[in-house]
Amino acid sequence: MHEMSICEGIVQVLEEQAVSQQYQRVKTIWLEIGPLAMVETDALRFCFDAVTRSTLAEGARLEIIELPGLARCLQCAKSVTITTRYDACSECGSLQLQVTQGEELRIKELEVE
């Protein structure tokens, strides 16, 4: 259930940004999440409403942009799509993959007022 901590982290970022970016309320939040970010998006949505209550993001819309997972194969040097940590290279079957994208867990953009 660390989705709860992640939501608290989101609210912290929003509160810090509210001071520097001069806004009072957050209306929409766009998150970028990769398949290897260790986050269950349904659980995140569930926690989000509870955590944002009585904050500057109360009632805000949560938009989740799901990024694909990518890795470079150390055997055949091709770039392949992955969805889990234990995927094999779809080209040569090697398990020696270096993840290049998919661990993202970041706030990309906000609609504020």
Partner 1 sequence: MCTVCGCSEGEVSIEGHHHGHSHDQHRHSQGSDSEADSHREVVVVSEGDNLHFGQGPAHAHAPGLSQSRMVQIEQDILGKNDRYAGQNRQRFDAMNLFALNLVSSPGSGKTTLLTASLEKIKGRCSVAVIEGDQHTANDAERIRATGVQAVQVNTGKGCHLDAHMVGHALERFDDLSGGLLFIENVGNLVCPAAFDLGEAHKVAILSVTEGEDKPLKYPDMFYAADLMLLNKIDLLPYLDFDVEQCIAAAKQVNPDIEVIKVSARSGEGINEWLDWIEQHRVARIQRRIEQLNGQISLLQAMV
Which residues here bind partner 1, judged by CB under 8 A? 1-2, 5-6, 8-13, 15-19, 21, 23-24, 27-28, 30-31, 36, 38, 56, 61, 63, 84-86, 95-96, 105-113
**Rg, Å, the chain Cα set:** 17
Pick between residue 21 and residue 68 the one whose CB is nearest to partner 1.
21
CB 56 within 8 A of CB 18: yes
Pick between residue 2 and residue 79 the one whose CB is nearest to partner 1.
2
Q: Identify the burial level of 50 via C-beta atoms within 10 angstroms of its C-beta, where 0-12 means exposed, 13-18 middle and 19 or more buried.
A: exposed
Pick between residue 67 and residue 107 the one whose CB is nearest to partner 1.
107
Closest approach of partner 1 to the CB of residue 12, in Å: 6
Which run of H or E residues covers position 105?
Answer: strand 105-112
